């Protein structure tokens, strides 16, 4: 009766830990014992959480194994959790419950949200310098994005932009390659459409493909890149509390997509993620539009392909939608400099293995590797490395970022246009209406 009122954060802490326990994450002997519901890691244990699957996961495991070989005195407990909102919910709740991992992967768009909520440790002090975790060693766009309100909260690992894959055999037959075997420039309002038409003549199926069905991320990445190139700028303003989307430019970008899929049928208007990759791998499409991480899929499939940056379709300042993986330290009052030294040593080890990471398609943020000659020998992954400077991150807001509610809302509306189920005007109105509800809702943490 005399207890203090329950705050939102205390309520989340209590219910969140109960929920995590219900998911079986507090079992004794599990990797979570040192991060979610245990008594904290021992002095020689490093708890590391990530959300990396597929080819990314394979490469991260190899990098972790290399760290273990170099540091046998450290017991690295690495845990991979479900991608997207489930992962960030668990990071949030474990931190509120005072049992966070020592270090975790976060997209830079999500690190900003976690930092704003007071869930991350600010990164400062001489230990950063000792391990070379300073501005001069990182690509500038990513280093700047790693700051929230002027304070460093994340150490960037990479940039993963939306890119264009192309089948070299199909493009050769379509007359789209230059004398060096590289794709000719497709910049400008008609070049990409013309190239898709030419590729369709070769495949007798489609010129290109991107996933639409049951996928909200890919449509958003394509649309937003076009919207940014049109000069649309932000969709969200005031930390997500305002919708500032330029409706006319959004409709123009959507109309361009509808032209590709619905009017000219240069791309399928009904295909899911797996179907899109299969179509490109089986040479039913000359071009494939997706994040850079699918390079592993086509290498494995022995597809004759290369990669390059998304064309500058509208001829303005070049932008492309992107995000970055980064390392963050969820806030922990028990953490001391001795533990930080182990954590920063682990992060530095991961950065020193940027070659392994680059082979998976992502552009490393670690300048000692990016600026060296070795990166240029990794083909086709280094073809688009300059895109890191043109990366356009999703606008900040508590409901925004990779794998977020924002992405689901706008991506669903964009996919409906690509499928011929909605007009650009209807889609923009739907985006604005649904986003406004989130903009008028206070952040839950």
Q: Are residues 309 and 335 in the same domain?
A: no
pLDDT at position 132 over 90: yes
Looking at the structure of the chain, the number of domains it has is 2
- At residue 366, the 3 state secondary structure works out as strand
- The neighbouring-strand residues paired with 328 are 104
pLDDT digits (tens, 9 = 90+) for 157-190: 999 999 999 999 999 999 999 999 999 999 998 9
Q: Are residues 313 and 360 in the same domain?
A: no
H-only helix segments in 51-139: 54-70, 85-96, 108-116, 126-130
Query: Which of 345, 423, 416 lies closest to 133 in space, CA to CA?
Result: 345
Q: Which residues of 197-234 are buried (b: 16+ CB within 10 A; e: fewer)?
A: ebbbebbeebbbbbbbbebbbbbbbbbbbbbbbbebeb
- CA separation for the pair 50, 80 (Å, rounded): 5
- Determine, yes or no, domain membership for 2: no
Please identify, among 346, 364, 382, the residue that sits at the C-terminal boundary of a domain.
364
- CA separation for the pair 161, 290 (Å, rounded): 8
Tokens describing residue 200? 């369709």
- Determine, yes or no, domain membership for 300: yes
- At residue 78, the 3 state secondary structure works out as strand
- Determine, yes or no, domain membership for 331: yes
- Residue 303: its pLDDT value, please? 97
- Determine, yes or no, domain membership for 350: yes
H-only helix segments in 230-317: 247-258, 273-281, 295-300
- Residue 224: its pLDDT value, please? 98
Q: Are residues 212 and 315 in the same domain?
A: yes
- Residue 349: its pLDDT value, please? 98
Q: 356 CB contacts (<8 Å, ≥6 apart)?
A: 59, 62, 63, 66
Mean of pLDDT values over 403-414: 97
Q: Are residues 329 and 398 in the same domain?
A: no
- CA separation for the pair 289, 277 (Å, rounded): 10
Roughly what angle, to the nearest 10 degrees, separates helices 54-70 and 337-352? 120
- Determine, yes or no, domain membership for 310: yes
- CA separation for the pair 283, 261 (Å, rounded): 18
pLDDT at position 234 over 50: yes
- At residue 289, the 3 state secondary structure works out as strand
Which residue is it, tokens 């004794």?
28
Q: What are phi and psi of 387, to 5 degrees?
A: -65, -20
pLDDT band at 14 (very low <50, low <70, confident <90, very high): very low
pLDDT at position 93 over 60: yes
Q: Are residues 33 and 144 in the same domain?
A: yes
pLDDT at position 35 over 90: no
Residue 34 near residue 47, CB atoms below 8 Å: yes
What count of other Cβ atoms lies within 10 Å of the Cβ of residue 399?
21
Q: Are residues 281 and 183 in the same domain?
A: yes
Q: Are residues 167 and 301 in the same domain?
A: yes
Query: Which of 326, 286, 271 lies closest to 192 in space, CA to CA?
Result: 286
- Determine, yes or no, domain membership for 122: yes
- CA separation for the pair 3, 15 (Å, rounded): 18
- Residue 444: its pLDDT value, please? 87
What does the mean pLDDT of the chain come to? 91
- Determine, yes or no, domain membership for 369: no
pTM of the model: 0.90
pLDDT band at 265 (very low <50, low <70, confident <90, very high): very high
pLDDT band at 42 (very low <50, low <70, confident <90, very high): low
Rounded to whole angstroms, what are the CA distances from 250 to 85, 256, 310, 314?
26, 10, 18, 13
**Residue bearing the bigger pLDDT, 283 or 6:** 283
The CATH number of the domain holding residue 142 is: 3.40.190.10
Which residue is it, tokens 């890919």?
218
pLDDT band at 315 (very low <50, low <70, confident <90, very high): confident
pLDDT band at 13 (very low <50, low <70, confident <90, very high): very low
Q: Are residues 342 and 413 in the same domain?
A: no
pLDDT at position 3 over 50: no
Q: Are residues 170 and 281 in the same domain?
A: yes
Q: Are residues 121 and 202 in the same domain?
A: no
Domain that holds residue 277: 161-322+393-439
pLDDT at position 255 over 90: yes
pLDDT at position 312 over 60: yes
Q: Give CB contacts under 8 A, 24+ apart, made by 257-261.
A: 257/219, 257/222, 257/223, 257/226, 257/414, 257/417, 257/418, 258/417, 258/418, 258/420, 258/424, 259/193, 260/193, 260/196, 260/208, 261/212, 261/418, 261/419, 261/420
pLDDT at position 33 over 50: no
Could you give the percent of the chain with pLDDT greater than 70? 90
Tokens describing residue 20? 């995590």
pLDDT band at 43 (very low <50, low <70, confident <90, very high): low
Q: Are residues 152 and 165 in the same domain?
A: no
Q: Are residues 229 and 287 in the same domain?
A: yes
- At residue 333, the 3 state secondary structure works out as coil
pLDDT at position 233 over 70: yes
- Determine, yes or no, domain membership for 149: yes
Roughly what angle, to the nearest 10 degrees, separates helices 217-229 and 247-258? 120
- Among the residue ranges 34-43, 140-149, 316-325, the one predicted with the least confidence is 34-43
């Amino acid at each position: 009766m005399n207890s203090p009122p329950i705050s939102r954060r205390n309520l989340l802490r209590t219910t969140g830990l109960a929920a995590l326990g219900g998911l079986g994450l507090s079992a004794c002997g599990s990797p979570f014992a040192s991060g979610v519901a245990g008594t904290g890691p021992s002095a020689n244990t490093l708890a590391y959480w990530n959300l990396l699957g597929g080819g990314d996961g394979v490469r991260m495991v190899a990098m972790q194994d290399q760290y273990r070989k170099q540091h046998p005195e450290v017991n690295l407990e690495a845990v991979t959790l479900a991608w997207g909102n489930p992962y960030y919910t668990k990071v949030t709740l474990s931190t509120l419950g005072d049992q966070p991992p020592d270090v975790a992967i976060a997209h830079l768009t999500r690190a900003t949200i976690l930092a704003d909520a007071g869930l991350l440790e600010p990164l400062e002090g001489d230990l950063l310098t000792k391990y070379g975790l300073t501005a001069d060693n990182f690509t500038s766009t990513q280093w700047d994005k790693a700051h929230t309100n002027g304070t460093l909260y994340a150490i960037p690992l990479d940039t993963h932009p939306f890119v264009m894959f192309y089948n070299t055999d199909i493009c050769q037959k379509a007359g789209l390659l230059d004398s060096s075997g590289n794709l000719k420039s497709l910049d400008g309002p008609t070049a990409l459409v013309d190239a898709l038409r030419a590729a369709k003549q070769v495949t007798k199926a489609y010129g290109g493909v991107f996933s639409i069905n049951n996928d909200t991320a890919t449509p958003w990445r394509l649309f937003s890149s076009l919207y940014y190139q049109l000069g649309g700028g932000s969709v969200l303003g005031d930390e997500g509390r305002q919708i500032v989307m330029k409706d006319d430019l959004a409709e123009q970008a959507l109309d361009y997509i509808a032209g590709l899929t619905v009017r000219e049928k240069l791309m399928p208007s009904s295909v899911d993620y797996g179907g899109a990759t299969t179509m490109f791998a089986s040479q039913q499409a000359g071009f494939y539009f997706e994040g850079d991480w699918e390079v592993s899929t086509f290498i494995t499939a022995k597809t004759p392909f290369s990669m390059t940056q998304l064309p500058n379709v509208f001829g303005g300042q070049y932008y492309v939608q992107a995000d970055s993986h980064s390392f963050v330290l969820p806030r922990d009052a028990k953490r001391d400099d001795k533990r930080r030294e182990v954590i920063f040593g682990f992060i530095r080890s991961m950065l020193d293995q940027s070659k392994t990471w680059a082979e998976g398609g992502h552009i490393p943020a670690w300048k000692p590797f990016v600026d060296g000659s070795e990166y240029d020998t990794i083909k086709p992954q280094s073809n688009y490395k300059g895109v890191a400077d043109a990366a356009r991150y999703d606008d900040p807001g508590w409901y925004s970022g990779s794998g977020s509610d924002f992405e689901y809302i706008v991506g669903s509306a964009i996919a409906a246009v690509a499928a011929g189920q909605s007009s650009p005007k209807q889609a923009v109105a739907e985006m604005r209406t649904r986003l406004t509800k989130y903009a008028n809702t206070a952040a839950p943490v």
